[in-house]
């Protein structure tokens, strides 16, 4: 009976899967030639999806066809080599392929008994990440959607741990009436940390803001008095300049006072995987918790965030969920290490991507993308345009003159379609931000994109 029903469902699913695979290959093959941003016609065609909820079923193959026909052209080509907007990684071949398999398995990674392979691979990748980044080997952690959730998980854990040391059980008694916690952030704190603080009940305005230097690094000499009811949020990799806060100095001071240091290392922390860049990250291993994204620099497919906590018990206490039917086993259960219960098995794709790279491949990915960023900076500077940041890793900030002209150049670059970059404001100045985060970017992509940027910039009236 069991084998009979398996044959049946296979029979039903196979044509749609084959269709999806064919359409995927086609998408990958045409990536090179298409504009990075979807054109107006592609965006207008999305209108086809706006129909009343269909009365009757559709054939799965037709569903896939329709999705590909109107969906694929309306994607931003972020998996190609010439997307430099925000901080967006591509998708490594092994992790893309693993996601097909993992989606076929459709495992719920909440509990080991529901998804043994997912629970196991989650443990493996958490260890690998600690090893690769030089973080304490006895850290525990969780796999979450993104750095925002990783920041939230870590800050909720810090809240739980600090209040517990002060004799307050926040899980049971909540935040009202709890001893006050001082939260310290840098002037250049990422907006996601402020959102995480607001979700965790700290209030994004109720923070002490520490001045930053001209690269956006927190000034350690401007830290307020720290104590055992303080959380200090520092940053590895400023989203604009790529700069790193002086972690060693801050962590050592925080340790003396038993404060908690949390690191937002969404992409920058991965620089630790490269022998050439790991000095930038020195000192961050002294912190208490870390948030990062695997979907950025390591190029694991979306979504893939990681939270790590030095005090494994603290994470477990803050994130645990108990019910009679969730029998606590003696082994690690994914759902007790993150806010989510049911979730996709992100560990599978993360394992596949990291396994395919190995330590040298990950280091090479970091170094290659940093070298591409250097090339962009040099090419733009030679042409007379101002680079606003010290290009320490993969982020380049360029001004094309006045704010209006820079915005117009960005608009034209986005419209022209060779490459795609986003705009930002850096220390009061409008800039175009180039983030080289994809494994797929080749030197040819860089030269082609640079030539397009320079041509468009020259054509744009001052």
Ligand X SMILES: *Cc1c(COP(=O)(O)O)cnc(C)c1O
Whose tokens are 């240091």? That residue is: 261
Q: Of 142-150, 223-231, 244-252, 415-423, which part binds ligand X (CB under 6 A)? A: 142-150
Residue with tokens 């794709």: 349
CB 190 to ligand X: min, Å: 4
- Of the candidate residues 159, 160, 190, 344, the single one contacting ligand X (CB under 6 A): 190
Position 146 contacts ligand X (CB under 6 A): yes
Binding-site size, ligand X (CB under 6 A): 14
Q: How far is the CB of 270 from ligand X (least distance, A)?
A: 11
Contact call for residue 306 and ligand X (CB under 6 A):
no
Q: In terms of CB distance, is 35 or 424 closer to ligand X? A: 424
Between 233 and 357, name the residue whose CB sits nearer to ligand X: 233
**35/99 with CB nearer ligand X:** 99
Interface with ligand X includes 192 (CB under 6 A)?
yes
Strand, coil or helix: 35: coil
Summary count for the chain: helices (H), strands (E): 13, 11
- Of residues 64 and 354, the one with the C-beta less far from ligand X: 354
Shortest gap between Cβ of 145 and ligand X (angstroms)?
Answer: 7
Using the rule CB under 6 A, is 87 a contact of ligand X? yes
Out of 188, 264, 333, 445, the residue judged to bind ligand X by CB under 6 A? 264
Stretch 9-38 residues interacting with ligand X (CB under 6 A): none
Q: What is the DSSP string of 312-365?
A: HHHHHHHH----TTS---SS--GGGGSS-SS---HHHHHHHHHHHHHHHHHHHH
- Using CB under 6 A as the binding rule, whether residue 338 contacts ligand X is answered as no
**Cβ proximity of 217 and 284 under 8 Å:** no
Residue (of 89, 78, 61) closest to 369 by Cα position:
89
Pairwise CA distance, residues 349 & 353, whole Å: 6
Residue 306 neighbours by CB distance under 10 Å: 31
Binding mask 101-140 toward ligand X (x if CB under 6 A, else -) reads ----------------------------------------
Within 223-262, which residues bind ligand X (CB under 6 A)?
Answer: 235, 237, 239
Token pair 């016609």 is at which residue? 41
Q: Is 347 in the site for ligand X (CB under 6 A)?
A: no
Rank residues 99 and 435 by Cβ distance to ligand X and give the closer one: 435
In 166-305, which ranges are continuous DSSP H helix? 170-173, 191-199, 247-256
Return the C-alpha torsion angle 184, 189, 195, 200, nearest 10: -20
Sheet of 386-387, strand order:
386-387, 395-399, 429-435, 422-426
User: Which of residues 37, 109, 135, 147 is near ligand X by CB under 6 A?
Assistant: 147
Q: How far is the CB of 192 from ligand X (least distance, A)?
A: 4
Instruction: CB nearer to ligand X: give 96 or 266.
Output: 266
Q: Give CA separation, 132 vs 287, 299, 361, in Å.
A: 16, 15, 11
Please tell me whether residue 266 binds ligand X under the rule CB under 6 A: yes
Min. distance of Cβ 146 from ligand X in angstroms? 3
C-alpha of 221 from chain center: 30
State the Cα–Cα distance between residues 401 and 407, nearest whole angstrom: 10
Q: Are 93 and 297 in contact (CB under 8 A)?
A: no
Residue numbers 278-297 binding ligand X by CB under 6 A: 293
Nearer to ligand X by C-beta: 112 or 433? 433
* Beta carbon nearer to ligand X, 87 or 413: 87
Q: Is 204 exposed, middle or buried (0-12, 13-18, 19+ CB in 10 A)?
A: middle
Nearer to ligand X by C-beta: 239 or 354?
239
If one counts every other C-beta atom within 10 angstroms of the C-beta of residue 285, the result is 20
Q: Which is nearer to ligand X, 266 or 280 (CB)?
A: 266
Nearest distance in Å: CB 22, ligand X? 31
CB 406 within 8 A of CB 400: yes
Closer residue to ligand X (CB): 239 or 450: 239
Cα–Cα nearest to 433, from 152, 175, 87: 87
The answer to whether 305 contacts ligand X (rule: CB under 6 A) is yes
CA 381 – CA 148 distance, rounded (Å)? 34
Binding of residue 340 to ligand X (CB under 6 A): no
Q: How far apart are CA 31 and CA 320, in angstroms?
A: 44
User: Which of 91, 99, 107, 148 is the binder for ligand X (CB under 6 A)?
Assistant: 148
Binding of residue 435 to ligand X (CB under 6 A): no
Q: Which residues bind ligand X (CB under 6 A)?
A: 87, 146-148, 190, 192, 235, 237, 239, 264, 266-267, 293, 305
């Amino acid at each position: 009976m069991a084998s009979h029903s398996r044959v049946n469902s296979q029979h039903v699913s196979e044509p749609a899967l084959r269709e999806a695979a064919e359409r995927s290959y086609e998408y990958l093959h045409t990536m090179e030639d298409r504009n990075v941003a979807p054109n107006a016609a592609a965006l207008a065609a999305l209108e086809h999806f706006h129909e009343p909820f269909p009365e009757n079923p559709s054939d799965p193959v037709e569903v896939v066809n329709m999705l590909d026909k109107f969906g694929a052209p309306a994607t931003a080509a972020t998996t190609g080599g010439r997307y430099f907007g925000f901080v967006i990684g591509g998708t490594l071949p092994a992790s893309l392929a693993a996601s097909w398999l993992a989606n076929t398995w459709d495992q719920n990674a909440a509990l080991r008994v529901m998804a043994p392979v997912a629970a196991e691979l989650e443990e493996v990748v958490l260890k690998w990440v600690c090893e690769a980044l030089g973080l304490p080997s006895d850290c525990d952690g969780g796999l979450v959607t993104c750095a925002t959730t990783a920041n939230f998980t870590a800050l909720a854990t810090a809240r739980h741990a600090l209040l517990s040391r002060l004799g307050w059980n926040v899980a049971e008694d909540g935040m009202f009436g709890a001893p006050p916690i001082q939260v310290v952030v840098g002037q250049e704190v990422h907006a996601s940390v402020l959102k995480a603080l607001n979700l965790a009940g700290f209030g994004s305005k109720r923070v002490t803001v520490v001045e930053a230097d001209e690269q956006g690094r927190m000034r350690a000499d401007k830290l307020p008095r720290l104590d055992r009811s303080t959380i200090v949020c520092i940053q590895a990799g400023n989203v604009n300049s790529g700069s790193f806060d002086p972690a060693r100095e801050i962590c050592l001071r925080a340790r003396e006072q038993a404060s908690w240091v949390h690191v937002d290392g969404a992409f920058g922390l991965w620089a630790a995987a490269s022998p050439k860049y790991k000095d930038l990250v020195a000192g961050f291993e002294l912190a208490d918790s870390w948030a990062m994204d695997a979907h950025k620099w390591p190029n694991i497919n979306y979504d893939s965030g990681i939270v790590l906590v030095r005090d494994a018990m603290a994470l477990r206490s803050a994130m645990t969920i108990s019910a009679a039917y969730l029998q606590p086993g003696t082994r690690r259960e994914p759902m007790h290490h993150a806010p989510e219960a049911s979730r996709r098995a992100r560990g599978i794709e993360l394992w596949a991507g990291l396994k395919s790279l190995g330590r040298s491949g990950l280091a090479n990915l970091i170094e290659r993308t940093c070298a591409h960023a250097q090339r962009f900076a040099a090419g733009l500077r030679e042409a007379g345009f101002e680079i606003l940041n010290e290009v320490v890793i993969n982020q380049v900030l360029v001004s094309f003159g006045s704010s209006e002209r820079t915005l117009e150049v960005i608009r034209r670059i986005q419209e022209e379609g060779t490459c795609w970059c986003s705009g930002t404001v850096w220390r009061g100045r409008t800039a175009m931000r180039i983030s080289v985060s994809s494994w797929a970017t080749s030197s040819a992509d860089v030269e082609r994109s640079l030539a397009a940027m320079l041509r468009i910039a020259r054509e744009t009236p001052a």
